[in-house]
Amino acid sequence: MKRILIVDDHPPVVRVLKLGIEDAGYDVDTAANGSECLVKLCNGHPDFLITDIDMPRMGGKELCLTIEEQFPDRTFPIVVLTSRTEIEHRTWTTGIDNLLFMEKPVSVRRLVSYIGKSLEQPDRPVAAQ
């Protein structure tokens, strides 16, 4: 079973995403911030990672940059959930492969569809619908 890791500090968001993704047949693990996520990554990589941007201790931007540095052979896709739509909040992703922004509020159905398409074709990123 494919494992999805959700990184978000808002329990209601985590609960909704977790239920929707589990209903689609995936195993879901969670972390409340980037620091907790990095500990989990050291114990095994997920097949797919979903992260919020604004979190305490370590936010999504720092998490993604740290993953890029510490896990240069990363194969799992990353989706960054954000309500920030300005282009300057996305320029830091230049050079990070297999990363996609999705604007909040996100449709769980759309996210699950993207997960499925990405995991079916792991060698190339899939554009979000």
Contact status, residue 26 vs residue 115, Cβ threshold 8 Å: yes
Domain ranges in the chain are 3-120
Locus of tokens 């499925």? 116
For residue 129, is pLDDT > 50?
no
Separation of alpha carbons 71 and 67, rounded Å = 5
For residue 106, is pLDDT > 80?
yes
CATH superfamily of 3-120: Response regulator (3.40.50.2300)
Separation of alpha carbons 52 and 6, rounded Å = 8
Mean per-residue pLDDT of the chain: 89
% of the chain beyond a pLDDT of 70:
89
Question: Is the peptide bond preceding residue 105 cis, with omega within 30 degrees of 0?
Answer: yes
Quick one: average pLDDT of 67-85?
Answer: 90
Label residue 122 by pLDDT band (50, 70, 90): low
